[in-house]
Amino acid sequence: MKEKIIVDTKERLSTISPDIYGHFSEHLGSCIYGGFWVGKNSDIPNIHGYNKAVVEAFKALDIPNLRWPGGCFADTYHWKDGVGPQESRKKMVNTMWGGVTEDNSFGTHEFLGLCDELGCKPYICGNVGSGSVQETSEWIEYMTNGGISPMADLRRANGREEPWKVPFFGIGNESWGWGGFMRPDYYADLYLQYQTFIKQYGESKIEKFAVGPNSEDYNWTDVVMKRAHNFMDGFSLHYYTFAYRYEDKTDATGFNKEVYYRTLRGALKMDEIVRRHSEIMDKYDPEKKISLVVDEWGNWFKPTPGTNPGFLMQDNSVTDALVAGLTLNIFNNHADRVRVANLAQAVNVLQSPVLTKGDKIVLVGEEGNGKSSLLKWIFQPNLLADYMDAEGERIIRDEYLGYLPQELPKECREYTEFAEKEIGVPIKMVSNGPSRNDIIYR
């Protein structure tokens, strides 16, 4: 039986936004400290204090945007504690995650500098839970005002002459939960107050994102959209995948077939959730000007045994790859509404594509570019010695792994470029037959 795929280049539905491939970096576990940030005086190779290997990994991923400082941490974070000379910054206890003391050496300048290194857009989440309108307003002024003002002058005194561009700003995080346990009508009024004082300095627009629902809380969406839709650019949605539910998390590895299929079913639930929230948004925003921002998504399993349970570190398996593929495809199918999304999280937390331990780093899911840590360990473990430790049983039955240079024939290359131009979407893989070995990576 022959399979046929027909691509109608004349029927255009909507453009898939590159920003759905965003990532999330929270002050949680070792995502920031020990992940992205090791400090300028660290023995670990670094670029101005950023872990060199982690920076290079995310540069290779070409991520479009990075969310910071939370997450739940955002509603405890006071930005002025994280600017100025690092040695004189106020220490703080991270009461949201693990109760550890942080020295605030990674603050506004360091985060925006990281985004510059990665070539990605910064997405900053403001403190509504324990902060103030003035604090948020002054943070915006500090970062984006190129003129003369108290906060712009403070930025210059701290070593940054030119303002930054901050294209995305979230007003609070999970205000229905640990961001304040607010009612939707109360949060809607707070949102309207806060957004009023987020001033647009210069020509670079800041898109303002309101706190949206937790999973299937459709009432939250209806109430907040009805009250505040005329004053927002984006509306967030958080949905994590569980085999059963939040209270009954399963192991990240070593699971049985039932857990495997229940996890995939949980991922597919995203389609219904996005669709139903979009239908409510359509009542108040029929022209779809407001983005549905899925800024926390991914698998949430039990923490890796032997680690601090408050750090949410978990191992990865092929299930994570399948959940990511299913979820991103759902975002593609709802591209008219879902225009920003962030996988939780970037390094060492939940469904992370990068794991670190000291000066060692593992890149998860690299298959297809000839650099898979897993495949190296199976076939040529000596190649891992300079950047990771690995243990386990290796079973090899006389197979040998090789990578062949791949290039499309001229006619196929020209047609692929034509298709990319017509549909407005980059084509990364081209199948030349029914087998996975017949895939050509561009």
* Residues labelled catalytic: 174, 296
CB 37 within 8 A of CB 84: no
Q: How many CA within 13 A on the CB side of residue 54?
A: 32
Q: Name which of 220, 198, 222, 32 is nearest 110 in CA terms.
A: 32
DSSP 392: S
Q: Are strands 92-94 and 439-441 parallel, antiparallel or unpaired?
A: unpaired
Q: How far is CA 382 from CA 367, 373, 395, 399, in A?
A: 18, 11, 16, 17
Q: Is 100 helix (H, G, I), strand (E, B) or coil?
A: strand
DSSP 8: -
Can you list the pairs that 245-253 forms with residues at least 24 positions away whose Cβ atoms lie under 8 Å?
Answer: 246/300, 249/300, 249/301, 249/302, 250/301, 250/302, 251/301, 251/302, 252/299, 252/301, 252/302, 252/304, 252/314, 252/315, 252/316, 252/317, 253/315, 253/317
CB 311 within 8 A of CB 100: no
Q: Which residues touch 157 (CB under 8 Å, ≥6 apart)?
A: none
Q: Residue 29 forms beta bridges with which residues?
A: none
Q: Which residues touch 264 (CB under 8 Å, ≥6 apart)?
A: 319, 322, 323, 326
Question: Degrees (nearest 5) of the Cα angle 145, 37, 78?
Answer: 45
Can you list the pairs that 84-91 forms with residues at least 24 positions away whose Cβ atoms lie under 8 Å?
Answer: 84/158
Q: Name which of 271, 276, 277, 205 is nearest 235 in CA terms.
A: 277
